[in-house]
Every structure is written in structure tokens, then in C-alpha cells.
Amino acid sequence: MYEAVAMSLPKVYHRFSLLSLHSTTSPILPKTLFFSSYSLRLAVKRLHSPPLLRPQSRRFVAGKRFQAKSTMASSRFHHLVPVNALTAEDGGNGTGSNGAADATASVAYDDDVESASATGYRLPPFEIRDIVDAPPLPALSFSPLRDKILFLKRRSLPPLSDLARPEEKLAGIRIDGKCNSRSRMSFYTGIAIHQLMEDGSLGPEKEIQGLPKGAKINFVMWSNNGQHLAFSVRLDEDDGSSSKLRVWVANVDTGKARPLFESPDVYVNAVFDNFVWVNDSTLLVCTIPLSRGDPPRKPLVPSGPKIQSNEQKNVIQARTYQDLLKDEYDEDLFEYYATTQLVLASLDGEMKPFGPPAIYTSMDPSPDQTYILISSTHKPFSFVVPCGRFPKKVELWKANGEFVRELCDLPLAEDIPIAFNSVRKGMRSINWRADKPSTLYWVETQDGGDAKVDVSPRDIVYTQSPAPHDNEQPKILHKLDLRYGGISWCDDTLALVYESWYKTRKVRTWVISPGSEDVNPRILFDRSSEDVYSDPGSPMSRRTPAGTYVIAKVKKEDDGDTYILLNGSGATPEGNIPFLDLFDINTGSKERIWQSDKEKYFETVVALMSDQKEGELSINELKILTSKESKTENTQYYLLSWPEKRACQITNFPHPYPQLESLQKEMIRYQRKDGVQLTATLYLPPGYDPSRDGPLPCLVWSYPGEFKSKEAASQVRGSPNEFAGIGPTSPLLWLARRFAVLSGPTIPIIGEGDEEANDRYIEQLVASAEAAVEEVVRRGVADPKKIAVGGHSYGAFMTANLLAHAPHLFCCGIARSGAYNRTLTPFGFQNEERTLWEATSTYVEMSPFMSANKIKKPILLIHGEEDNNPGTLTMQSDRFFNALKGHGALCRLVILPYESHGYGARESIMHTLWETDRWLQKHCVYSSNVKADGSVCKDNAEGTVDSQSKAVGAAGGVQELANLDDDQFHSIRRSLLF
């Protein structure tokens, strides 16, 4: 009896302390969960004290609460924002913690987490908000000579007004017509240059000067000699839109920047490519044709019906793409925005057109800067596939603008089979050899691009000079029985060719000698891509004087042998322990020359820094860049120098969220009932002690994965020493709300041999979830009645299925941007290759939409209104919600205006967090299996604190606050607070 009462009291205390104006010095909820009834009465009594909340500051009108005008200092109510306070990021008055200022969208933080019917954007509790609003750290970029570092400064979350700008959805991409670029581009706000000193320290900051105020910077690119930077600049205009992009260049030594083009009418067309350095003083720029007029207008009356035909009976299967072209007007609009005039521009101001206007998609100069490989797309366009499948032309031009030849003109590719490893017919992956001045290579399929066709070889790699003699045929470099996966070039004696096959998870690495036909290729590694324990690592590359990257050869002082460096993640049963091996390519012998500290730190090799000299590198002159972190220390960068392996720290970034600096993190292992070993990362709040504080409410957040074997599914991935990075929508934010968080518990869906994994999806999903829940309960950190489950995209699909098929495990769920009806994605989804008609029962049984009648636990659905991800149409959540509502399920659907698959605007993210926190507080923290006492629901204005306390905590009648509707809850709250 005592236990029931004691456990009910903290629920009331915590809820009312959150709803009240509690002390601003306590951002984290109280660590202890046990309070006496006297403590509860005292806490409620303090809520009445006049110094904390004066009568004139708030009023109730017709049962509603409003914020009245007040002259009280804002610092005393820092977690309250006036109803009309807004979140535009730059300028204005009344800025918030991230510089947010007044804009046009209403944002309010009502401290009543139950007032869910109010309109407008909401803000989560300040414990969460302060973490999300923390200033972002800069991005880093090293100079080609490794002697300077750019600190690219970034802004906080963008305001919703950025996302609300008009955009054209054409051919699978989204275009900002005002900028003539991809819409919703992030940007840098400034560029700072630091000299990297001999001792590894950084010199003083040098800010790039001369930029216009409020410049939005994109596409920062070093010249090959490291003396100049090129980047694009755009500005906000009076109507809230952004201007078109202009190319700027900056002298790295002086820090002075200026526009590349003297004419103010030359703008970048950044729909596909943007600009590239042809040599150290010349850029090739994609510009908007000067002769282009206004955009085409949509006709008031269509010229005819929209017709698609397949009278030739072609087999055309495609996944559920979004933003496709719909009619002739869309075709005209796509062509209008995507058409580019290439311009060759030098730093001294000269410029000239390069080729005719076309829809250019990529530009790639040869290493010797003699030729430029240019790709473009053209009509006929398609209404069923995105622009990446449109006809593709690849041409070779000289760097001075002289046309050389056409390499290929591939037709529209609507008929690529949906099976994994299926590809386009004809030449593909056309590139320059990184180790040669100007030698082309490419791949051609021998199976018609259809992975279901059994043929040997399946792919052939060809090579050829850019200007072959008459009748000179391409040379066969290598033949592959699996699908081509890339080449790492070194020189004429060494190159590594990769191939893989998804169905079997097989990956192979071949050693070839490109300059020696008499040396037979041989397999270096032949393994399963799922077997992370056997991963030997990848060869480290060095930068050449031409600006390309080739495999680095290393020589030891005591012998004449040549080695390469293999950089690996070092997966082990104890977690990842990154390494660097000295590897003999001929004998296969290896020597471990560096390894991360496995006890406390997680350190990885980022790049080779000692590549300024040509030829082989001496092991004693080796210098590498590493990133180093721990559970509680955020990532910093270090220079590691041989032979002493002396480490020098070159960054000192502050902790992004010091309030969670002492969070507890543990990688845990447990077993599924079929014997599969599973892993997860368990996070606990700072200062939590299970023996003292008891079990916590727990949030489980995951994403299923497919495997071909139990052994591979059981392997450990990740490191227990990695820093707990917390993004704007991370489940780890609820550590600040005193939740336990089980992050990424492995949910392996295994299909061994000829078995398809998804045929036993539900069975394996539930078994994995049961094992995870049993483990956190066994450890005493999670209350079995207060475990919530959530996920994004395929994780949302998982969440809905778990609430339908394992309701005994979870009290509620949060599903973001998911797909719930697989009949709406009939030509495959995720890693499912079969169609709906080939695996009807699998599609139906996997779809939680078909089990909507089984979902009895509360589920929160969140979706971006403009979701652009294949398969996860916003309609998926809308129809799922209607199915749930049609069966009386406790559910809520939140559609975020202007948001796509991932959420970007501060208003949207904050509201998502508010919705999630409200759902977790109501249906997890304050959920109970004890029936409600109806007497508490009466609106008794004369009730005293003592009577209400007794009613809430009465033995045998503990009130289930989570089941109160808003009016009932407000009644109790008013009687307690006023």
C-alpha cells in the first residue's frame, strides 16, 4: 500500500513542477523520485508564493489561460516566450538563445504540456531547447599543401521562412527559382584561415575580408596551389528571398575577397554543377544564360490530356519516386532552370563562353589540365523516373574550349530493373585515371544491366587515351564477375579494383598492374561485407601535385620493401578499435603501426598529412590527422608524427552541451531467444544511481537492418568510447528530462541461404524488441510500464509494427516520417527486391496499416508535408492516422508545413520536440495501469491542496493522470496552482 502511494506522489510533483515556474537554477529534473506527502504539499504551496508568479502576470478567461502584459524581467521567465515571439534568425529585437528574432510564424512555449489543442508552433522545455540552440561548431577544410586550415562558420537552425520560400519540384529535384539553385541549401556565414605551424599549433585567425554583410557562402573550393579560394555568395533580398549566386575569389595570403566577374549580371546556375578550377588561375563556371528571359508561364487551359503510354509492352518497374515531371509545362520549367552556359573565367578578369547552352550536370578536368570531361542531359524527359535516368551525353573538350569528341549518348533509362546491383546499359563511371596526366577509364555491363541475368563476366573495365588514333579500340583493363565498385589508383604497377554483390553480400578486392599485360590480376581480399570483424581496412591516399589522390606507398628505413597503409575501423567483440597497418601488397603480411586507445578514447585516422613530396613516403616522416573523442569529451583533431608518434592537439572546441557532460554511456550485449547476439547503447542521465533513484522511464530508438547470417548480425558495431553526439532531433535529448535512452538496439532481420529476410520480419522484429526490453528491465534502469519506442523513416515503420504486434512491451510510440502501407510501394522498398505481386503476403503482413485495428497503445505520428524521400509520401501518415482513428486508437498526427523527409526549420524542430516531450510525459512518465479515481475529475474550485493531494494519492484510487482529458487536467491544475 505504501509503495503505491509513494510512487504516485512523485508523478504529481514532477508534473506540477514542470508546469510551474520552478527555479531556473535546476534545468534537470530532481534526481530522486521519492517525496513524502508533506514534500508534495510544500512544493505546491511554494507555487502560490507571490514573488514567483504575480497575479497580474497570468489570467484565466473562460477556463483558458492567457499571458498578460507584464513589466517583469524576462530573465525571471526565461522558459516562457510571448505568444507572438518568433524565430527568424538574423537581426531584429528580442532575440532568443540562438539569435532568433521576430518573423511571421507564431511560436509559444506554454508550460502546460497538456494544452495540445492550442494552435501555433510550440517550444519544448528549456532543458531540451538549450541543447538544440547551442551554437554549431565550424567545419574544417585543409589546404592542398596541408599548411593552412579553414574554419567554415555555420549558423544555428534556420527559420521556417527559409523553407517557406517557393520552390519548383521537377524531375526528382527541388529548385529555388530565385537563386536558380537547389532549394534549402545550408550555407556558411564566414571563413577564417589559420596557419598550421611547424609544432602543430594554429596561428592567429585571419577572417576573409570584403564580403557583403549577411553573405551566404557555398561551394568553397581551394585552387590546386592553395593560393586562392573560390566560393559562391548570395544575399537576402527585401522580399525574404535570396539573390542569385555569384562567384567570389579570395587571396589566401591577404584574406581579401572580390567577385570573379566584373559584370553584376553573371550568375551561377547551381541546379547541378557550379564551378571548378581548370588550373590555378582559371575557373569553368556554370552560369545562367544572359539571353534567358522570364520563366515559362503555365497555360490557363492545357493543350490536351496528360497521356502516358506503354503500347510497346515494355517492362518498366520503378520505386515510388517523388517530385517527378507531370506535364509539358514541367518539362519546359525544368529545361528553363537547368540550362547552363559554361564560361571560362580567369582571375585577371577575362571570360569567354565555353560550348553551347545545355543542361550540364558535371565538369571534370584531367589531372594535367589539358582536357575537361563534361556530362549533360537532354530530352526526351520522363514522367516516371527522376533526372538521373534521363538521356545522358558525355563529351570531351580541351581546356581552351575546343570540342574533341563525344564519348557516349545514353538513351532514357526507364527500364533499369529494381533488383539490387542492376545498372544502366552502356558506358558508366567515366573518369580520369588519378595516376596519369589524361587517361580515361569506364565500365560497361555485360548483362544488359539486369542483376538477375547470370553471365560471366558481368562488368568490364576499359581504358583509353582522350584522343585515340583512327580505329584505336579501348583497352580491356579488367573483367569482373560481380558488380564493379570502384578503383584505387597508385601507378602502372599497382591499382586495386573493387567488386561486390548484394544478394550474397560478397565483396572482392583485386590487385592489378595497369601497365603490365603479362601480370595476371589476383584477388587480395574476398570476404562478406557483413563480416565487419574481417575488414582489413582501406588503403590511405596521398595527394599528387596534380590535385588527384593515389594510394600512398611507404618505405621503411631498414629494408627496401614497399608497403601501403591500411586504415581500418577495427571492429571487435568489444567495439571498434581503429587501426593503421603497414601492409605488404605482395606477401599479405602486415604490421600494426598505430591503434586507438581502447580503454577510454575513440580515435580515428582522418587523412594523411605528409604528402607534399613526390615519390614514396618514409615511415619516419609519416604524419597523419586524427579525430579523438571519449564518452564525455567531444571530438578534437590531432596531428600525429612519426617516429615518436607525438600527438599535437590542433583544435579546442568547447563542449556543445555541458549540462549533459557527465551523462552515462554503456555499450551493452544481450541475446535474442533464437541465439542471435544483440547490442545497444544505453544512456543514463548525469548523476543517476539505479540503487538510489530506481528505474526510469525509458525511450527505445532504433532502425532495423537486414542480414544474411546470424553470425554477421551478432557482430558488434560502433565503439563504447564514442562521444554522444546529440543532433536537433536526437532521442538523447531526453536524457535532460531524466529518461534512460536505449539507442540503436540492433534489430536484425535475417534471411539465411535462399530465405528472404522479410518473410519473417514480424517474428524477428518482436523477438529483438523483447530481448532489448528484458535487458533494460533486468538491469533495473527502466520501469517496465514506462518504456516508449520510436524511430524515423524505417524506424517509424518499425515502431508502428511493434505497437501492433508487441503491445505488451511498450506504453506508447513516436513514429516520424514513416511508410505504413507497403501496397503503396509495390516495386520494392528498403532492401526488399521483390514486387508486391511476387511477395503479396510479405507486403501485407509487414504493413502496420493492415494491423491498425490491433494498435491500442498511444502513437504519435509526425511527418513533413513536403516529404521528398522515395516511398515515404506524406499520404502514408495521413492514411495510417485515419485507419487508426477509424478503430478508436489513441493517436495524434502532426504535419509539419514545408518540411521534407528530415526536418530543418527551428520552428518545426522545436515543435517536434514539444510534441514528443508532451507525448512521453503524458503516456510514458505519467502512464499507469491502475484505474482512475473518478472523484478527482470533478471541477471542484473549493478543493484545498490537502484534499487534492489525498485524492491524487489515495490508496486503491491512484489517479491515472495520463488518461485525463485537457479540461479535467486543467481543473486539478487550477485548484493546485490558484
Report DSSP letters for 60-106, one per residue.
EETTEEEEPP--S-GGGGTT---TT---B-SS-SS--TTS-B--SS-
> Is 345 a member of any domain?
no
The number of C-alpha atoms within 13 Å of 285 and in the hemisphere containing its C-beta is 31
What are the tens digits of pLDDT across the range 718-769?
999 999 999 999 999 999 999 999 999 999 999 998 889 999 999 999 999 9
Q: How confident is the model at residue 941 (pLDDT cuts 50, 70, 90)?
A: very low
What cell numbers appear for 429 in the block? Answer: 563511371
Confidence at residue 394, expressed as pLDDT on a 0 to 100 scale: 98
Confidence at residue 560, expressed as pLDDT on a 0 to 100 scale: 73
- Give the whole-angstrom CA distance, residue 419 versus residue 317: 10
> Is 41 a member of any domain?
no
What are the tens digits of pLDDT across the range 361-420?
999 999 999 999 999 999 999 999 999 999 999 999 999 999 999 999 999 999 999 999
- Give the whole-angstrom CA distance, residue 203 versus residue 732: 36
- Give the whole-angstrom CA distance, residue 747 versus residue 124: 30
- Checking if the pLDDT of 310 tops 90, the result is no
Confidence at residue 13, expressed as pLDDT on a 0 to 100 scale: 27
Q: How confident is the model at residue 201 (pLDDT cuts 50, 70, 90)?
A: confident
- Give the whole-angstrom CA distance, residue 81 versus residue 914: 14
Confidence at residue 254, expressed as pLDDT on a 0 to 100 scale: 95
- Checking if the pLDDT of 114 tops 80, the result is no
Q: Which of 95-99, 461-465, 966-970 has the lowest mean pLDDT?
A: 95-99
Q: Compute the average pLDDT of residues 15-21.
A: 27
- Terminal-residue alpha carbon distance, the chain: 30
Name the residue with cell 562567384: 247
**Residue 122 burial by Cβ neighbours in a 10 Å radius (0-12, 13-18, 19+):** buried
- Checking if the pLDDT of 86 tops 60, the result is no
CATH label of the domain that carries residue 911: 3.40.50.1820
Check: CB of residue 825 under 8 Å from CB of residue 819: yes
- Number of domains, the chain: 1
> Is 193 a member of any domain?
no
Which is higher by pLDDT, 135 or 373?
A: 373
- Give the whole-angstrom CA distance, residue 903 versus residue 887: 30
- Give the whole-angstrom CA distance, residue 497 versus residue 523: 9
Report helix, strand or coil for 2. Answer: helix
> Is 780 a member of any domain?
yes
Taking each helix axis from N to C terminus, what angle separates 966-977 and 945-953, rounded to the nearest 10 degrees?
A: 140
Check: CB of residue 163 under 8 Å from CB of residue 764: no
Check: CB of residue 749 under 8 Å from CB of residue 794: no
Which is higher by pLDDT, 682 or 928?
A: 682
> Is 561 a member of any domain?
no
> Is 703 a member of any domain?
yes
Which is higher by pLDDT, 168 or 112?
A: 168
Distances (CA, A) of 649 to 196, 200, 589, 638, 641: 11, 7, 32, 4, 12
- Give the whole-angstrom CA distance, residue 847 versus residue 804: 10
What are the tens digits of pLDDT across the range 926-938?
875 433 333 323 3
- Give the whole-angstrom CA distance, residue 134 versus residue 488: 40
- Domain residues for 859? 658-925
Q: What is the DSSP string of 627-662?
A: EEEESSS--EEEEEETTTTEEEE---PPPS-GGGTT
- The alpha carbon dihedral of 960, 961, 964, 970 has a sign of positive
- Amino acid, res. 261: F
Check: CB of residue 866 under 8 Å from CB of residue 899: yes
> Is 799 a member of any domain?
yes
Which is higher by pLDDT, 972 or 849?
A: 849
> Is 532 a member of any domain?
no
- The residues carrying an active-site annotation are 793, 867, 901
pTM of the model: 0.83
Confidence at residue 47, expressed as pLDDT on a 0 to 100 scale: 32
